[in-house]
C-alpha cells in the first residue's frame, strides 16, 4: 500500500491512543462516553473537531473517538489509528435504520457481515467483492456478554450505503441486493471500517442501534441518539477489553 508522510494528518501525531478503540460516528457521542463511562478520560486529539478521548475502563486503556459520517471519513480514521497508532481492536458503535420487520426501534444489531454496492473496497485495494466479514472472535465475545447481561442482540447482515437512506427512495437500492442476503439494517460506515481493518490485519466489528425503521413512524431525536444508547456502549466497552 502506498501512502504519504510519516505522521498522521487527521489525528494529533503525539496523541495518546490506546490499542482498544470504541468508534462512534459522532464526536459528541465520544465525549458522552468518555465523561460517563471512562475513568481519567482526557481529550487526546481534536483536529477538525473530531474528538478522541483516552481513559480507563476497568483498568484497561481505551480510546473512544469519532469517525465522522460515511466511509470516506471513517476509513481515514481507521487507517490512521491502525497504521500510526498500532490499534489492535475496533468496535464501531452507531445508529442504523431497520429494513427488516425482524427488528424494532431501540434494538441492537451486531454485524456478522456487511454488504455494500459501493466501489469503496475496489478503489481502496482492488477488493472485488461487495461483502466483508466482521471479526468472529469479537462477535463471539459480544454475544456472550449480551447473554450474560440479558441484552437482546440481533446478529446478521447490515448494508452500508453511500447516502443517508431516509433521504432517498432506498427501496430501489435494497431491491438490487441479492436475495440470499437477509439485510437487517442500513447505515453508512461499517463496510469501510471493517474492510480497512481486515486489510491491515486487526479485529473489527460493528454494533448499531436501530433509530428509525421503514416499518415504524417512531424516530429517535438527535438528543436521544446521543444519550440513550447505553446498552450498546456497555456491550462495546465490555467486549473490547476481553
Residue 4 lies in a domain: no
Question: Would you name the residues annotated as active-site residues?
Answer: 212
How far apart are alpha carbons 90 and 191 in whole angstroms?
Answer: 13
CA geometry: angle at 190 spanning 15 and 24, to 5°?
45
How far apart are alpha carbons 186 and 195 in whole angstroms?
Answer: 17
Residue 189 lies in a domain: yes
Residue 148 lies in a domain: yes
- Residue 117 DSSP SS3: coil
Residue 1 lies in a domain: no
Q: Are 15 and 65 in contact (CB under 8 A)?
A: no
The CATH number of residue 108's host domain is: 3.40.50.1580
| Percentage above 70 pLDDT, the chain | 96
Residue 230 lies in a domain: yes
Q: pLDDT tens, position by position, for the chain (242 residues)? A: 556 678 999 999 999 999 999 999 999 999 999 999 999 999 999 999 999 999 999 999 999 999 999 999 999 999 999 999 999 999 999 999 999 999 999 899 999 999 999 999 999 999 999 999 999 999 999 999 999 999 999 999 999 999 988 888 878 888 899 989 999 999 999 999 999 999 999 999 999 999 888 888 877 777 776 656 899 999 999 999 99
Q: What confidence tens digit (pLDDT) does each residue in 32-54 have?
A: 999 999 999 999 999 999 999 99
Domain containing 120 equals: 20-240
The pTM is what? 0.94
Count of domains for the chain? 1
Length of the chain: 242
Q: Which three cell numbers stand for residue 75?
A: 476509513
The chain-wide mean pLDDT, for the chain, equals 93
Amino acid at each position: 500500500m502506498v501512502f504519504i508522510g510519516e505522521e498522521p494528518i487527521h489525528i494529533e501525531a503525539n496523541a495518546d491512543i490506546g490499542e482498544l478503540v470504541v468508534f462512534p460516528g459522532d464526536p459528541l457521542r465520544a465525549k458522552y462516553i468518555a465523561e460517563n463511562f471512562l475513568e481519567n478520560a482526557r481529550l487526546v486529539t481534536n483536529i477538525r473537531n473530531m474528538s478522541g478521548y483516552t481513559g480507563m475502563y476497568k483498568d484497561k486503556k481505551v480510546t473512544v473517538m469519532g469517525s465522522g459520517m460515511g466511509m470516506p471519513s471513517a476509513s481515514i480514521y481507521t487507517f490512521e489509528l491502525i497504521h500510526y497508532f498500532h490499534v489492535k481492536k475496533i468496535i464501531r458503535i452507531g445508529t442504523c435504520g431497520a429494513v427488516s420487520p425482524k427488528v424494532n426501534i431501540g434494538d441492537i444489531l451486531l454485524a456478522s457481515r456487511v454488504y455494500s454496492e459501493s466501489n469503496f473496497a475496489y478503489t481502496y485495494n482492488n477488493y472485488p467483492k461487495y461483502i466483508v466479514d466482521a471479526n468472529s472472535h469479537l462477535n463471539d465475545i459480544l454475544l456472550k456478554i449480551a447473554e450474560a447481561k440479558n441484552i437482546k442482540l440481533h446478529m446478521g447482515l447490515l448494508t452500508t450505503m453511500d447516502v443517508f437512506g431516509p433521504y432517498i427512495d432506498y427501496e430501489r437500492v435494497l431491491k438490487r441486493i441479492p436475495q440470499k442476503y437477509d439485510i437487517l439494517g442500513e447505515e453508512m460506515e461499517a463496510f469501510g471500517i471493517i474492510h480497512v481493518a481486515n486489510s491491515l490485519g486487526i479485529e473489527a466489528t460493528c454494533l448499531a442501534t436501530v433509530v428509525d425503521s421503514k416499518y415504524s413512524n417512531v424516530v429517535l431525536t438527535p438528543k436521544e441518539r446521543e444519550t440513550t444508547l447505553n446498552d450498546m456502549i456497555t456491550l462495546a466497552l465490555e467486549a473490547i477489553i476481553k
